[in-house]
Amino acid sequence: MKILVIDDEPFALRLVTRQLQTLGFTDVTTHEHATDAVRTLERDAAAADLILLDLQMPEMDGIEFVRHLARLGFAGGLVFVSGEDQRIVRTASTLARAYALEVRGLISKPADPEQLRALLEAPAPGPKAPPARQFKLYAPREIEGAMSRGELVNHYQPQVEFASGTVVGVETLVRWNHPTDGLVLPEQFVGVAEEHGLIHRLTRLVLAEALRQARRWQDEGSPIVVAVNASMENFSALDFPEFIESAVRAAGVANRQLVLEVTESRLAGDDLMALDIFTRLRLKHFGLSIDDFGTGHSSLAQLRNIPFDELKIDQGFVHGADRDPSALAIVEASLGMARQLGLTTVAEGIEDYADWRHLRRLGCEVGQGFFIARPMPADTFDVWHRGWRQHLHALIPT
Ligand code: C2E
Ligand code: MG
Ligand code: MG
């Protein structure tokens, strides 16, 4: 294996080279200047199978070097060696992966021979994962057609109370049952619908079906609160609360059975119409949930301005929070704030047992995520729900 080590400190270069030799790697080239390494790779992009890269360098820094690697289509592995804050190193590797480079790991300085050995002896990953799913956006006319033909379907993802394991609600997530493309996810058509004035119709369709389903569950003796995602555009019609109220009445469920989830960054404190609508929705006892909390889309100012009664912590902070101190800090702060404001807390992105146990211990009230169940059609949900009730004791220590 040909290894290239880049570090502006000669001492660090000597140390790593010696450690590599001890481990049996003798084909090691070192560079004090990243620019020299770029030149080497420009002559022959296969001059290295693996690069150990320092991030902090005075002339060309590691991030700049990564950009060159991407330009040269470097196909080998990349290891970051850095004395920097873990977050910086993590961001660097996210960036490198976004450039389709193969990041093999991170080593903190001074390099520890054991860490180095573990990294170098780990099997090289197989062929690269296929590129992310083809992202096809649909035209407004196609989306209109889908709505007219009744091709939009609601899937429901359970929301479970951590303390008891009881399913307290579901989130409604729209899908498009496309005749030839299969099941199309909302990111491929909801944004387009918002931009082309189709979102009112879409929301009304999704909402009406979700309320009919809520009524079915109620009639079957298991009342479940149904959450529906609303777009900011929905809050630009002053009669939106009246529309919601009549839809709920038509379905024959209580106002408290419906929660509207809102994700929006554009809402300013001076958007009086939206504030008017939000306030009247709460006066009518509909639930109002701030979705994706912690991302750029949901901010603290909105918590103060809008009478939310539920806060959903974004999955980006929830999954793996037990291993990520920055994510954990955000989760804990969000939970603390929600408690002080009297909001129900929901954690999105409960993907594994560690997430479940961790958020439960932190006192979050409700969980949602793949570990509990994926979003599914209503009839599958009913089957799942029976199974969940039978097996849930394993998750709830007495
Ligand atoms: P959201 O409201 O934040 O919904 C949660 C998303 O996370 C869903 O993606 C869900 O499938 C996914 N998810 C659930 N559990 C997990 C987990 O454990 N790990 C991970 N990584 N993901 C999980 P989906 O269904 O693709 O929806 C994406 C977004 O589309 C939603 O995000 C929501 O903003 C929007 N959306 C969905 N349905 C509607 C709708 O009827 N109207 C509007 N306006 N927007 C909708
Ligand atoms: Mg949502
Ligand atoms: Mg969300």
* pTM of this structure: 0.76
Going by C-alpha positions, the residue among 233, 235, 214 that lies closest to residue 223 is 214
Return all residues near 333 (Cβ < 8 A) that are at least 6 apart.
Answer: none
CB–CB of 109/85 below 8 Å?
Answer: no
Above 70 in pLDDT, residue 373?
yes
CB–CB of 358/162 below 8 Å?
Answer: no
> Do 186 and 274 fall into the same domain?
yes
The ligand placed nearest to the CA atom of residue 293 is 3
CB atoms < 10 A from the CB of 364, how many? Answer: 23
Pocket of ligand 1 contains residue 314 by CB under 6 Å: no
In a domain, 126, yes or no: no
**Residue pointed to by tokens 């469920």:** 253
> Do 256 and 314 fall into the same domain?
yes
pLDDT in tens, 210-245: 999 999 999 999 899 999 999 988 888 888 999 999
> Do 331 and 194 fall into the same domain?
yes
In a domain, 234, yes or no: yes
Rounded distance between C-alpha atoms, residue 20 and residue 171, angstroms:
52
CA of 201 to the centre of ligand 3 (A): 22
> Do 99 and 146 fall into the same domain?
no
**Pick from 93, 121, 149: which residue ends a domain?**
121
Indicate the pLDDT class of residue 281, thresholds 50, 70 and 90. very high
In a domain, 225, yes or no: yes
> Which residues fall inside 5 Å of ion ligand 2, going by CB?
229, 261, 291
pLDDT for position 329 = 93
Rounded distance between C-alpha atoms, residue 47 and residue 115, angstroms:
24
> Do 239 and 320 fall into the same domain?
yes
| Better pLDDT: 136 or 192 | 192
> Do 244 and 354 fall into the same domain?
yes
In a domain, 131, yes or no: no
Above 80 in pLDDT, residue 59?
yes
Pocket test for ligand 1, best of 157, 173, 192 (most atoms within 8 A of CB): 173
pLDDT for position 155 = 97
> Do 342 and 238 fall into the same domain?
yes
CB–CB of 368/157 below 8 Å?
Answer: yes
Pocket of ligand 1 contains residue 174 by CB under 6 Å: yes
Q: Provide the CATH number for the domain around residue 293.
A: 3.20.20.450
Cα three-residue angle 297-333-278, rounded to 5 degrees: 45
Q: What is the number of the ligand 1 atom nearest to the C-alpha of 292?
A: 3
Pocket of ligand 1 contains residue 344 by CB under 6 Å: no
Q: Provide the CATH number for the domain around residue 90.
A: 3.40.50.2300
Domain of residue 295: give its range.
Answer: 140-394
Separation in Å, CA 190 to CA 147, 195, 197, 233:
12, 9, 11, 12
Rounded distance between C-alpha atoms, residue 230 and residue 222, angstroms:
25
Hey, is 5 helix, strand or coil? Answer: strand
pLDDT for position 265 = 60
CA of 370 to the centre of ligand 3 (A): 13
pLDDT in tens, 167-189: 999 999 999 999 999 999 999 99
> Do 52 and 190 fall into the same domain?
no
In a domain, 128, yes or no: no
Above 80 in pLDDT, residue 126?
no
Environment class of 278 (CB within 10 Å of its CB; exposed 0-12, middle 13-18, buried 19+):
buried
> Do 60 and 157 fall into the same domain?
no
In a domain, 288, yes or no: yes
Pocket test for ligand 1, best of 202, 264, 348 (most atoms within 8 A of CB): 348
**Pick from 54, 86, 121: which residue ends a domain?**
121
CA of 173 to the centre of ligand 1 (A): 6
Total domains present in the chain: 2
**Pick from 64, 93, 121: which residue ends a domain?**
121
pLDDT for position 269 = 55
> Do 305 and 199 fall into the same domain?
yes
CA of 240 to the centre of ligand 3 (A): 22
Environment class of 153 (CB within 10 Å of its CB; exposed 0-12, middle 13-18, buried 19+):
middle
Indicate the pLDDT class of residue 393, thresholds 50, 70 and 90. confident
Pocket of ligand 1 contains residue 229 by CB under 6 Å: yes
Residue nearest atom 2 in ligand 1 by C-alpha distance:
229
Residue 268 phi, psi dihedral angles, 5° rounding: -100, 160
> Do 109 and 158 fall into the same domain?
no
CB–CB of 83/108 below 8 Å?
Answer: yes
In a domain, 134, yes or no: no
> Do 248 and 303 fall into the same domain?
yes
